[in-house]
Amino acid sequence: MEFKILENGNLIESPRELKNIGEYDVIVCGGGMAGFGAAIAASRHGAKVLLIERETALGGLATVGLVPIPLDIPTGISLEMVTRLEALDGYTRRNSNPELHKLVLDRMVKEARIELLLDTAIVDAVVVDNQIRGVVLESKSGRQVVWGKRFIDCTGDADVAYFAGCEIMSGRESDGKHQACSLDFRLGGVDYDKYLESDLKAYDQSWVKLIKAAHEDGRMPIMYENHLNWSVFVPGRPKNCGKDEICFCISHSRNCDPLSNVDLTRMYLEGREQAAFFSRFIKENVPGFENSYLIDTANLLGVRESRRIVGEYVLKTLDFARKAKFDDAITCTHHHFDLHNPDGVGNIKWAKEIIDGKVCYVSSTGHPGSYPPPCGVENMTDGWGRTGADRVFLKDSADIPYRSLVPVKIDNLLVAGRCLSSEFMAQAASRLILCCVNMGQAAGTAAAQSLKEQVVPRKIDIKTLLGTLEADRKA
């Protein structure tokens, strides 16, 4: 390999031959929740599937990122996954055990005869005539190329779509800022029953008063967050032994650039310092945690949003607030606006929108989160800009249309998961773990169908797709 070093220190690599490691019907890029759903669905519908994952386990944020709280609607493959986890004592009351979750994913992928590459990063896409022909991989085996007929980008960061030159959105429309990132951590040695029976749990569930008081009297010199985002009891451990394990989401980095290795490094270091602080703070201040200790911090930073593709349809914030229905709905979500403040403390559960020429602070539930809107809670509107007694907060789920998984540019590419085609706030409302599996199932099914119909994914027969998804959910 020859290099040319430029005067500015940049480097030109010489062309080199990459080893061809095979050809597949469907290549699923990224093995998080969306990638898992996509690979299983495509394989069950007869496609020869390769699933490629950069980390050393499947599950992405839900496992390696220590987000053991799979919310939203279990159906189809996501229901199967939860049922399998339950059978191993790895799932109770919507909380999961990350280690058992990895094992369930390994087993389901193996049973579906999917070929899997872990510890392998996709670093480029080979595009010819508006189609991705192959992706370039980097791993212990060096640089390699693998060829495919259909690609599903489930990298969360829309890496493949970006490498292929698709149009991309990133960050908040007004200033490009991303949601806060979080490094989750686990504490062991907890007496959870004692915590559940404590006054703190009964009267200050999200620790708002505790944190405010601690900040005022100096126990928490830096206001990292004004509330506890969540704490999760990790199932699959001996019961009621006074040595429970709890996973926390409370350490956050702000003003993040999750697409920069420099800023990712800053956030991992910051997250570990915050976890060290919180583990001491919790031990000293929270009943039931007197003997607790830090087990670990996540190996994968909690990036909520980075790149989203521009698809055939961009899911709108107001679609979400109005619970819009779509003829090509491939799944739906029961979530609400849920934005982790990009540049300050608190959760934002409202969206600033212009409706009929008026600035409105739109809520999907009537609850403002821990960062109320400037108009005051009472003046928040519903999805149509109405206030007061006229407001209607629909309890329905919100649809996700197939077209939001189909990029406008590249013909043989689909996406699924948190990089779906959506406005910033609509993404914040539709990225829950089970919804990502469900989007993946739809994308995998569509990819296999498009091969059978011999048309590009944007041209498949949508009624057939919806019929197959419906039948598979009932099976």
Ligand X SMILES: Cc1cc2nc3c(=O)[nH]c(=O)nc-3n(C[C@H](O)[C@H](O)[C@H](O)COP(=O)(O)OP(=O)(O)OC[C@H]3O[C@@H](n4cnc5c(N)ncnc54)[C@H](O)[C@@H]3O)c2cc1C
Which residues are registered as beta bridge partners of 148? 24
State the CB neighbour count (10 A cutoff) for residue 308: 26
Closest to 71 (Cα-Cα) out of 270, 254, 232, 260:
232
- Please check whether residue 360 is in contact with residue 352, taking contact to mean a CB–CB distance below 8 angstroms: yes
Closest to 347 (Cα-Cα) out of 256, 198, 471, 229:
229
Nearest approach in angstroms of CB 108 to ligand X is: 15
Q: Does 436 bind ligand X (CB under 6 A)?
A: yes
CA atoms of 285 and 273, how far apart (whole Å): 18
Q: Which positions ≥6 away from 465 have C-beta within 8 Å?
A: 330, 402, 442, 445, 446, 449
- φ/ψ of 280, rounded to 5, equals -70, -45
Q: Does 61 bind ligand X (CB under 6 A)?
A: yes
CA atoms of 475 and 469, how far apart (whole Å): 10
Q: With CB under 6 A, what is the number of residues at the site for ligand X?
A: 39
Q: Which is nearer to ligand X, 51 or 451 (CB)?
A: 51
Q: Which is nearer to ligand X, 127 or 360 (CB)?
A: 127
CA 232 to chain centre: 17
In the region spanning residues 195 to 254, those forming contacts with ligand X, defined by CB under 6 A, are 230, 249
Q: Does 431 bind ligand X (CB under 6 A)?
A: yes
> Which one among 24, 25, 28, 32 touches ligand X, defined by CB under 6 A?
32
> Which one among 368, 418, 422, 429 touches ligand X, defined by CB under 6 A?
418
Q: Does 122 bind ligand X (CB under 6 A)?
A: yes
Q: Which positions ≥6 away from 132 have C-beta within 8 Å?
A: 125, 126, 148, 151, 160, 164, 410, 412, 413
- The stretch among 12-20, 65-73, 187-195, 462-470 that binds ligand X (CB under 6 A) is 65-73
Tokens encoding 168: 């991309």
Q: Does 69 bind ligand X (CB under 6 A)?
A: yes
Q: Does 68 bind ligand X (CB under 6 A)?
A: no
> Which one among 102, 178, 227, 304 touches ligand X, defined by CB under 6 A?
304
Nearest approach in angstroms of CB 474 to ligand X is: 24
Amino acid at 175: D
> Which one among 26, 28, 34, 50 touches ligand X, defined by CB under 6 A?
34
> Which one among 70, 368, 369, 383 touches ligand X, defined by CB under 6 A?
70
Nearest approach in angstroms of CB 181 to ligand X is: 7
> Which one among 156, 369, 444, 457 touches ligand X, defined by CB under 6 A?
156
Burial class (CB in 10 A: 0-12, 13-18, 19+), 277: middle
- The stretch among 155-163, 193-201, 213-221, 265-273 that binds ligand X (CB under 6 A) is 155-163
CA atoms of 360 and 168, how far apart (whole Å): 27
Q: Which is nearer to ligand X, 230 or 277 (CB)?
A: 230
> Which one among 148, 235, 236, 302 touches ligand X, defined by CB under 6 A?
302
Q: Does 62 bind ligand X (CB under 6 A)?
A: yes
In the region spanning residues 170 to 189, those forming contacts with ligand X, defined by CB under 6 A, are 182, 184
In the region spanning residues 35 to 54, those forming contacts with ligand X, defined by CB under 6 A, are 35, 52-54
Q: Using alpha carbons only, how large is the chain's radius of gyration in Å?
A: 23
Q: Name the site residues for ligand X (rule: CB under 6 A).
A: 29-35, 52-55, 60-62, 67, 69-72, 121-122, 154-157, 159, 182, 184, 230, 249, 302-304, 417-418, 431-433, 436
